[in-house]
Amino acid sequence: MSLPLDGKRALVTGAASGIGRATALELGRRGADMVLVDLTSCDAIADEITALGRKGVAVEADVGEEVHAHEAVQRSLADLGGLDILVNCAGIMRETRLLEMSVDEFDEIVRVNLRGTFLMGREAIAAMKRQGSGGRIVNIASELAYLGRAEYSAYCATKAAVLGLTRSWAREFAPDILVNSVAPGPVDTPMLGIDNMTAEWREKESDIPLGRIGRPEEIAGVIAFLAGPEATFVTGQTFSPNGGAVML
C-alpha cells in the first residue's frame, strides 16, 4: 500500500521533544525519510523512525548558527538524496517582564525562534530550488503571535515575525515551494511544563472552547497535512489548532 509521503525527504527541527518529535513520527508513519535536528540528541527518535521502516538521521545542531543550519540541510542531501519538506519547530519560550529583560535574553529568543527559522528556511529553499521538484515549508508560530502575552513579549514578537517570513516566502517562491505556518494554542509539551501546571493554566483551559490544551499529535496531524498531497492549493496560510481559543 502506498503512503502519502512515500519517497519524500523531510527535515524536522526541534525533533527531540514535544511537537517536533510527534511531527517526525507522523511524517515517518506517512512514509517520509527524515533528518532530525535538535540541540539534544535525536538518536532515540531516529531509532523509532527506523522501526517504522523509514530512514532516520539524527543531527545535533543549533538552528541559530549559520554553519549548523547549512550542515543540517547538507546531511539531508547526502544521506537522503534530497530535501522535500522542512518543518521549523525548534523554539524557546521565556517568561520575563519587559523591564527586567536583558538585551542578551531578548537576543537569544530572537536568535533561536526567528534567526533559526530564517537560516533553516534559506538553506532548505536553496536546496529545493537546485533540486527543481518543488517543496514544502511549515513554520511553527503560536497563537500568541495574535494574542500577545504579558511577560512573554520577545517570544510573541518572534512568533509574529515567523508569520511575516511565511507569507513573504510563500509569495517569493510560488508556485514551486508552498510555505505555511501552524500557530498552535497551548500544547502539552516540556515547553509548557504541564507537570507544574499552575492555577493560571487551569483557568486558561476553561477559556478554551474545547475545554483542554492540545496534545502534540494533534498539532503534528495539521503539519503533516500541510506537508502532504492534500495541500497542493495552500500557501501563505496560518493554521491554528488551538481548541477554538482564537477564531479568526
Residues near ligand NAP (CB under 6 A) are 13-14, 16-20, 38-40, 62-64, 89-93, 112, 116, 140, 142, 184, 186-187, 189-192
CB count in 10 Å sphere of residue 62:
19
Smallest distance, ligand NAP to C-beta of residue 14, A:
3
Of 31 and 64, which has the nearer Cβ to ligand NAP?
Answer: 64
d(CA 160, CA 114): 10
Of 3 and 218, which has the nearer Cβ to ligand NAP?
Answer: 218
CB closest to ligand NAP, residue no: 18
Nearest to 26 by CA among 7, 60, 3: 3
d(CA 211, CA 223): 22
Backbone angles phi, psi at 156, to 5 degrees: -60, -40
Smallest distance, ligand NAP to C-beta of residue 172, A:
22
Smallest distance, ligand NAP to C-beta of residue 98, A:
19
Whether residue 155 lies in the annotated active site: yes
Whether residue 152 lies in the annotated active site: no
Of 140 and 178, which has the nearer Cβ to ligand NAP?
Answer: 140
Catalytic residue among 146, 152, 159, 204: 159
Smallest distance, ligand NAP to C-beta of residue 6, A:
26
> In sequence order, what DSSP letters do the residues of 83-124 get, joined into one string?
--EEEE---------GGG--HHHHHHHHIIIIIHHHHHHHHH
Determine if the peptide bond prior to 175 is cis (ω within 30°).
Answer: yes
Of 13 and 238, which has the nearer Cβ to ligand NAP?
Answer: 13
Q: Tell me 80's DSSP state.
A: I
Provide the greatest CA pair distance for the chain: 57
Q: Could you give the residue numbers annotated as active site?
A: 155, 159
